[in-house]
Amino acid sequence: MDVTLSRAYRRHMDSFWPDVDRHLVRYSGAGSFTPEIIEKAAGSYVFTADGRRVLDFTSGQMSAILGHSHPEIVATVQRQVATLDHLFSGMLSRPVVDLARRLAESLPDPLDKVLLLTTGAEVNEAAIRMAKLVTGRHEIVSFARSWHGMTQAAANATYSAGRKGYGPAAPGNLAIATPNPYRPDFRTPDGELDWHRQLDFSFDLVDAQSVGSLAACIVEPILSSGGVIDPPPGYLAALRRKCDERGMLLILDEAQTGLCRTGTWYAFERDGVVPDILTLSKTLGAGLPLAAMITSTDIERTAHDRGYLFYTTHVADPLVAAVGNTVLDVLERDKLDVAAADLGAFLRQGLTDLADRHEVIGDIRGRGLLIGLELVLSRETREGADALGAAVTRRCLELGLHMNVVQMPGMGGVFRIAPPLTCTRAELAEGLDILDRAIGEATR
């Protein structure tokens, strides 16, 4: 870089953070941005303006499951944007129909009708809207630590954050207790979570509050923003029965768990449950804005007969649909469900070894390459450690590892670890070494 360019670059860098302060809306509750300027990303790493390489243990926003700038994704975008990128919403293209067919083929019957949109909030909005129309009811049930998005119906079904200060939520949104095995509210005689009794109690309250218009229950198979909470085996099947007893639809939000991340193609496979409506988002676009709502022919037909309307600017866009097809190509060819299970076991063992050395590690949970690590002040009391989580996060970044603490009230000691499915054991080991050092220094 010549002297003139170097001076211009320094002037640009000097203005960056003042421009952030002057011009950017702060869009997270924490109100702060990561104190690094990211210039590029490749594979499992992002690269800062000052030349540092940072291992990305969050896959961007838990989305880049094939890593950053995957060559096949890059080639697809370059080819597709040069031929067919965007259409009038009533027009169709081959990538859209191909992706819909392939998603249906990857799922059990009767999930065979697909609507392609852009974000998780948007497909959850579409799913809730469809459930209300098909059932003729309006009440929606979700977990008390749920996160389904920031648009209207999705935000009304979100309880982990963002509810205060915006006026009344829509009538008919009801919360049920979150089945958190590490922090049980209903206990068996041996102190474990009694989720059967908790679920019965939750629906006793739902029935008491309902005005007789229960439409659907929307849940994540693993609550991600809620603290990477994995409901016990059998829970989803019991929840399915509660819904069936009341004539409710079951909507599963697999924004972060779908498409191989948990070691299976879909997280609901573990419990042998098939939802009435499935939503996919983050992982489907591998970092690009692509999402899908998938339901049965019967539900889609009823919705259509009743005039179902969900019309957006970017519904069924060919550019991102082509990317979705490439994502499926790579997942299938490279058997990334198997890879996620194998790498997840390696990661979990590494975190277990860290727990042997660091008393502040209270719990390790999750499946595949979606792991939660909870820091506590005491293993006996399980008191949360928000300040420690923030300190470890800062030190990890200084040492070259981006770790994401759950940005919800009271959960600042819970790390959400979700590296790309294309990562290597060496990269996981590098991250574990940095985390080991950061925890040791923060607790010294």
Q: State yes or no: is 416 an active-site residue.
A: yes
Q: Looking at 256, 271, 367, 374, which residue is catalytic?
A: 256
**CA–CA distances in Å: residue 109 to residues 106, 134, 252, 271, 273:** 10, 19, 15, 15, 11
E-assigned strand segments in 31-80? 38-42, 45-48, 53-56
Residue 184, preceding peptide bond in cis (omega within 30° of 0): no
**Beta-bridge partner residues of 46:** 41, 54
Sequence spans of domains, the chain: 11-69+336-442, 84-333
Q: State yes or no: is 253 an active-site residue.
A: yes
Q: Looking at 282, 365, 367, 395, which residue is catalytic?
A: 282
Q: What does the alpha-carbon distance between residue 156 and residue 148 come to, in Å, rounded to a whole number? A: 9
- CATH number listed for the domain at residues 84-333: 3.40.640.10
Q: State yes or no: is 256 an active-site residue.
A: yes
- CATH number listed for the domain at residues 11-69+336-442: 3.90.1150.10
Q: State yes or no: is 265 an active-site residue.
A: no
Q: Torsions phi, psi of 443, nearest 5?
A: -100, 0
**pTM exceeds cut of 0.75:** yes
Rg (CA), the chain: 22
Q: Looking at 253, 300, 374, 427, which residue is catalytic?
A: 253
Nearest to 282 by CA among 230, 332, 324, 325: 324
Identity of the residue numbered 218 = I
**Tens-level pLDDT at each residue, the chain (444 residues):** 455 555 555 666 679 999 999 999 998 876 678 999 999 999 999 999 999 999 999 999 999 999 999 999 999 999 999 999 999 999 999 999 999 999 999 999 999 999 999 999 999 999 999 999 999 999 999 999 999 999 999 999 999 989 999 999 999 999 999 999 999 999 999 999 999 999 999 999 999 999 999 999 999 999 999 999 999 999 999 999 999 999 999 999 999 999 999 999 999 999 999 999 999 999 999 999 999 999 999 999 999 999 999 999 999 999 999 999 999 999 999 999 999 999 999 999 999 999 999 999 999 999 999 999 999 999 999 999 999 999 999 999 999 999 988 866 666 799 999 999 999 999 999 999 999 999 999 998
Nearest 5°: the CA angle 402, 403, 408 is: 130
Q: Looking at 122, 125, 145, 147, which residue is catalytic?
A: 147
Nearest to 296 by CA among 107, 99, 92, 95: 107
Q: Do the strands 249-253 and 277-280 form a parallel or antiparallel pair, or are they unpaired?
A: parallel
Helix, strand and coil in the chain, % to nearest 5: 40, 20, 40
Q: Looking at 220, 254, 300, 363, which residue is catalytic?
A: 220
